[in-house]
Structure 1
Amino acid sequence: MQRRSLLQAAGAALLPLPAIAQTAGAKLLKFVPQANLSTLDPVFTTAAVTITHGFCVFDTLYGVDGKQAPKPQMAEGATVSDDGRTWLIRLREGLRFHDGEPVRAQDCAASLDRWSQIDTFGTTLRRAVEAFEAADDRTIRIRLTRPFPRLLEAIGKPHSSPAFIMPERLARTERTKIVSEMVGSGPFRFKADEYLSGARAVYERFDGYRPREEAADWTSGGKRVLIDRLEWHVMPDAATATAALQRGEVDWVEQPAIDLQPMLQKARNIRLQVQDPYGFLAFARFNHSIPPFDNPALRRIVLGALNQEDYMVSIMGDDRATWRACHSAFPLGMPGVRDVGSAVMTPPHDLARAREAVRQAGYKGETVAILQPTDQPTIAPHGQVTAALLQALGFKVDLQAMDWGSLMARRLARQPVEKGGWSIYHTNWPSVSIANPALNTNIRGDGIAAGWYVDPEMERLVERWVGEADAAQAQALFDQVQQRCIDQAPALPLGQFFQRTAFSSAVQGVAPGSVCYFWGVQRAG
């Protein structure tokens, strides 16, 4: 079917009549997320769609402002002992969960304990923690074995498994299991009775939420909800979502397809704006636990052969204002980041020579299974680019198409390719979520994140960086981490891009962030 035909036929996949009938008279906002909300636990997964959901339902002890500085959120503030080994975090008064129960320090301690077993920055913190505990009902006490000066940065991180606070009974869920009951203390209440994976998710304003007094700023400040009901409508086809937005049947499309944006820019009833001013960094993630990419020599060859322009043009087009090359595993423009891989990654590349290097490095003809999420317009084309590159280098490639939810489940498989495993998948990260060595899951060598990269030397460097208070010494350690990313190629940086979001001109209050925030948003009329 041609693109024009899809636009004409888009009305066949619009909102179900029962959902419209239920919301008569309510202040309603209809949103199309970038992908299906298949996993509800925003600590268990790093998927952006689940993090967006998480900020609706849950809150954090600390958030960040637009400069990424940690700010008190559920907390009144924090104090640290003179020896740097005891932190006390005092909760704001009157906080309640959606089930009516008060938020207690016991809930927070249990939440931090589970989060610190899952999240990359959290596991780094956990190695310095003697106990997360309650000093009293409103005071969390964190006892450390050594100073950890970046503690508030860790628990206030805005993306990729933030330290969301849950009731103790849910936070006691084993780290290997997914929390499915969505009870938080955030500004929205999740409507479990209306949730249908692959179709919709529904949220209602939580009248018991107590916003802070100051203005909202990224994930910090007063999260004042101005709508009664928020409906997410899953529309995997970009043309369907665009047509629904143009006709006013939805209010906001998180990630409109690049090739449809010129049409949206001409529409008087639609606005486009960059959602995250820090941008995103695209990656190819390797499975390090099975051949062939358990071999660092093969990973380095692929890193040195790829052309980032091919990847960026495939998703963003030729407009260089929307993307740039980034020869680093960290996003350019963030503090301390250097373009350390330019000598290795800058074209032109001698593919014939690289193909011979693959043979000499010991490639034995193993199938490379590339997972391609067809419902992710800023990721899907990368599978084809990588498949073509690897084939040119002499690899045997199997490009497997699936939706993003299936990919998120499949990436947990550790079996060989012939038994349902995988070799490579592509993703992108908000720059703020991978801005430093502790945060960047792509390069951490602790063997925890999908791909299971193990590198004790990388972990040693990260641990030293985390504990270094001297700015010059911290930068020197950061430089060593960046260079090791080029030497070991734990993941392939594919370029940095800036994604626009699209919404009706009647929608007001859309604020920048690493995900879409719904506090402060309202629909006029």
Structure 2
Amino acid sequence: MTARNALLRRAVLGLCISLAFSSLAAGQAGAETVLRYAPSAEPRTMDPVANFLSITQQHAYMVYDTLFSLDENLVPQPQMVEGFTKSGDGRVYTMTLRPGLKFHDGSPVRSADVIASIRRWAARDPVGRKLTEMGMTLAVVDDRSFTVTLEADTPLLLEGFAKPSAAALFVMREKEAQTDPMRPVAEVIGSGPFRFVASEYRPGARMVYARNADYVPRTEPASYFAGGKVVKVDRVEWVIMPDSSSAVAALQTGEIDIYESPPLDLLPVLERRRDVTVRVPGRQGQIGFLRPNFLHPPFNKPEGRRALALVMNQADAMAMAAGADGKYWSRCYSFLACGGANEDQGGTEWMQAQRMDEARRLFQQAGYQGEPVVIIAAGDNEVIKSFGMLAAEQLRAAGLNVDLQLSDFASMMARRVNQATPSQGGWSLFPMWSYSFEMDNPIANPTMNSACVNPAGGYPGWSCSPKLDELRTAWTRETDPTKRREIIRQIQLASAEQVPIVLLGRFFSPMAYRSSLTNLLNTPLPVFWSVSKP
């Protein structure tokens, strides 16, 4: 392309963007303050129980509220709950909702809504399922109060009720909360700080949220996901912009205010601008990993999984995900992620250097005989795709017969549950990443599920380790912080033997926003209370 044609294309693109946003503005001229946000994706479903993806959780924080939330010290704090009492033996919690809570249709939030929401959440969430295993029962006291009873005292109750994502415990109306948890709810009606404006939803183009005038925020200052959710804009528009160049151009001209995840190659353009701020969201980042399939060779043997760890080099994986200069990544060998309360890198010294010769020996010891190793990866997700390509390259270098099969993300996720052999439509391993705060809790972290029962219901890969599962259960039942920390140490050491995942490092995906915005909270998932726009 000639320089002249390139300039002409840029001018036309800029004109198209300006006309598009002028049209949007004209359609809602009565709004006082509109915050425009370009998310990394569009939610396929708007139900945070039926779909655990982070983009769905972001949407849920707009319209729903939670019983508890984590503050900046990662301590659970009451949110919808005004207060609670605990029985002397620690088994019974009596919780009271704040007065005046209303759903967006004007109906009051009742204990019956809360209990139905907890039950639906617990049917799918790993922490919710563990609490159910611990005998969790729920009962209405009155419209504002309810009880939660367990067979033993456990800190996991408040930790689970406050966990920020995948899936957070959002409260819905009883009507929606009685929906099968595998099916999306029919209506998006919450009690949170914003209302979803369904009439203005344009799939593939925009999603609109209006300030909930009936929402009464807590009086405490906002802190991480906790505290007062004070809304300072009238509307938030999610502008769906799959083309990253268009999104970067729109941010520079001020036609969008926030871009969730600019591509690495365009970050320098934004970092040089004084009217744009680039920052890492949250403090913990994301963890890249490979998940081997424990059902089929060569990863059904611990030697095969250790060999997989030894062929990988975290620096290579992170350079592909977050740039070669190391500005936005670090090595991480904690199976409960790095940067959180449960970080521990013990027992992993053996895997912290790439050793191809030892990997080849271990593959032979595992009985590998040249069968195809099928890697499934999402070709439409650059990070997952790059992890898959690197794993294929390294395993081929170790002498394995590798078949890298790329598909769209949705197809990859659907295929993960297939337990057939790789030659019959199954798979050998898949690359993935997760937010560090989602992996910090040994019950919430799905890769830690090693229960050895009902494998079809476990996290794809179907790890089986009675020792690891016993340690996770012991952690849920321990109330002493020092003893709990020692159990975390034992979980880390057991994981280093089991290798439920091969860790690829911790990385950060910077966000960019107009520097004129103030009080944009530094949370790992963007939230839009507190932020002001001039």
**TM-score normalised according to structure 2 size:** 0.90
1:48-447 correspondence to structure 2 within 5 Å: 48-289=54-295, 292-349=298-355, 351-363=356-368, 365-375=371-381, 377-414=382-419, 417=422, 421-446=426-451, 447=455
CA contact (8 A) 2:372 2:403 kept: no
Mapped partners of 1:23, 1:101: distance in 2: 27
CA contact (8 A) 2:377 2:409 kept: no
Residue 427 of structure 1 aligns to a residue in which SS?
Answer: strand
Q: Write the letter of the residue equivalent to 2:155.
A: P
- The count of aligned residue pairs is 522
Match of 1:485 among 484, 490, 495: 495
Mapped partners of 1:2, 1:417: distance in 2: 47
Q: Give the equivalent residue in structure 1 for 2:514.
A: 504
CA contact (8 A) 2:154 2:478 kept: no
Tell me which moved more, 316-325 or 475-484: 316-325
CA contact (8 A) 1:358 1:394 kept: no
Deviation at 1:110, TM superposition (A): 1.1
Deviation at 1:308, TM superposition (A): 0.5
CA contact (8 A) 2:63 2:193 kept: yes
Q: Give the equivalent residue in structure 1 for 2:478.
A: 468
Structure number with bigger Rg: 2
Mapped partners of 1:234, 1:425: distance in 2: 28
Deviation at 1:150, TM superposition (A): 2.8
Q: Are the structure 2 counterparts of residues 92 and 443 from structure 1 closer, same or farther at C-alpha, using a change threshold of 3 Å?
A: same
Deviation at 1:175, TM superposition (A): 2.9
Q: Which runs of 4+ in 1 moved over 6 A?
A: 1-4
Mapped partners of 2:271, 2:364: distance in 1: 49
Tell me which moved more, 64-73 or 415-424: 415-424
Question: 2:56 aligned with 1:46, yes or no?
Answer: no
Residue 370 of structure 1 aligns to a residue in which SS?
Answer: strand
Mapped partners of 2:492, 2:13: distance in 1: 46
1:131-153 deviation line (CA, Å, top 9, x unaligned): 12211111121111222233111
Mapped partners of 2:358, 2:297: distance in 1: 22
Deviation at 1:386, TM superposition (A): 1.6
Match of 1:22 among 21, 27, 44: 27
Mapped partners of 2:152, 2:474: distance in 1: 12
Q: Write the letter of the residue equivalent to 1:504.
A: R
Deviation at 1:420, TM superposition (A): 5.3
Deviation at 1:331, TM superposition (A): 2.4
CA contact (8 A) 1:38 1:405 kept: no
Q: Write the letter of the residue equivalent to 2:231.
A: V
**5+ residue gaps, structure 2:** none
Q: What's the RMSD between the two structures over aligned residues?
A: 2.7
Q: Are the structure 2 counterparts of residues 215 and 95 from structure 1 closer, same or farther at C-alpha, using a change threshold of 3 Å?
A: same
Deviation at 1:212, TM superposition (A): 0.9
Q: Are the structure 2 counterparts of residues 523 and 172 from structure 1 closer, same or farther at C-alpha, using a change threshold of 3 Å?
A: same
Mapped partners of 1:356, 1:12: distance in 2: 60
1:278-304 deviation line (CA, Å, top 9, x unaligned): 222222233445555444432221012
Deviation at 1:463, TM superposition (A): 0.9
Q: Identical aligned pairs, as a percentage?
A: 36
Residue 102 of structure 2 aligns to a residue in which SS?
Answer: coil
Residue 508 of structure 1 aligns to a residue in which SS?
Answer: coil
Tell me which moved more, 211-220 or 62-71: 211-220
Mapped partners of 2:400, 2:241: distance in 1: 35
Deviation at 1:242, TM superposition (A): 1.4
CA contact (8 A) 2:310 2:358 kept: no
**TM-score normalised according to structure 1 size:** 0.91
Residue 318 of structure 2 aligns to a residue in which SS?
Answer: helix
Deviation at 1:426, TM superposition (A): 2.9
Q: Write the letter of the residue equivalent to 1:274.
A: V
Q: Write the letter of the residue equivalent to 1:188.
A: F
Mapped partners of 2:2, 2:444: distance in 1: 42
CA contact (8 A) 2:321 2:507 kept: no
Mapped partners of 2:291, 2:66: distance in 1: 29
Deviation at 1:168, TM superposition (A): 1.3
Residue 181 of structure 1 aligns to a residue in which SS?
Answer: coil
Residue 93 of structure 1 aligns to a residue in which SS?
Answer: coil
CA contact (8 A) 2:127 2:444 kept: yes
CA contact (8 A) 1:44 1:161 kept: no
Deviation at 1:93, TM superposition (A): 0.7
Residue 139 of structure 2 aligns to a residue in which SS?
Answer: strand
Residue 468 of structure 2 aligns to a residue in which SS?
Answer: helix
Mapped partners of 1:5, 1:295: distance in 2: 54
Deviation at 1:220, TM superposition (A): 1.0
Deviation at 1:161, TM superposition (A): 0.2
Q: Are the structure 2 counterparts of residues 269 and 378 from structure 1 closer, same or farther at C-alpha, using a change threshold of 3 Å?
A: farther
CA contact (8 A) 1:276 1:430 kept: no
Mapped partners of 1:453, 1:17: distance in 2: 53
Deviation at 1:337, TM superposition (A): 2.2
1:55-104 deviation line (CA, Å, top 9, x unaligned): 11111100111001111100001111011111111000111112222111
1:349-403 deviation line (CA, Å, top 9, x unaligned): 1x2442343244133513413212434x444422221221222233333434444
CA contact (8 A) 1:371 1:422 kept: no
CA contact (8 A) 1:39 1:45 kept: yes
Tell me which moved more, 10-19 or 508-517: 10-19
**5+ residue gaps, structure 1:** none
